[in-house]
Amino acid sequence: DTEVTQTPKHLVMGMTNKKSLKCEQHMGHRAMYWYKQKAKKPPELMFVYSYEKLSINESVPSRFSPECPNSSLLNLHLHALQPEDSALYLCASSQGLAGYSDYEQYFGPGTRLTVT
C-alpha cells in the first residue's frame, strides 16, 4: 500500500474561519511533509516532521499550524487565512530520515483550498 490520503479534497473558507486539513499514511513512513502549490508553480515545502517531531519550518506564517498526533497522521490547522493562501496543499511521506537522500516521497491527492 503506497497510498497517502488527504481530506477534504476541496475546502472553501472565510478569512475568520478555523479549519483543519488531514493527512494519513499507513506505510510506516517516519517523515511527513506539507507543501503548498500555487497554480502553474512547483510545490513549496512548508513543514517537515521526522519521527513525529517538527524538523523543518520554512518560515511559514503562524496562521498555519501543523500537528503530528502520531506517526500515521499529519494535520494542518488553518486560522485567519488570507485570499493569497488559496492553493493546492499537498501532503507527502517518505521512509527517509535525516541523512538519507534516496527515499522518494509519496504524495496525497491534495486539498484545493479557496479563501474568500
Partner 1 sequence: AQKITQTQPGMFVQEKEAVTLDCTYDTSDPSYGLFWYKQPSSGEMIFLIYQGSYDQQNATEGRYSLNFQKARKSANLVISASQLGDSAMYFCAMRELLGNNDMRFGAGTRLTVKP
Binding of residue 113 to partner 1 (CB under 8 A): no
Residue among 16, 59, 70, 101 that touches partner 1 (CB under 8 A): 101
**H helices of the chain, where?**
none
Q: How far apart are alpha carbons 30 and 25 in whole angstroms? A: 10
* CA distances, 17 to each of 6, 81, 110 (Å): 20, 8, 20
If the CB atoms of residues 16 and 101 are measured against partner 1, the closer one turns out to be 101
**Contact string 29-58 vs partner 1 (x = CB under 8 A):** --x-x------xxxx-x--x-x----xx-x
Binding of residue 88 to partner 1 (CB under 8 A): yes
β-bridge mates for residue 23, sequence order = 6, 74
Binding positions for partner 1, rule: CB under 8 A: 31, 33, 40-43, 45, 48, 50, 55-56, 58, 88, 90, 92, 94, 96-110, 112
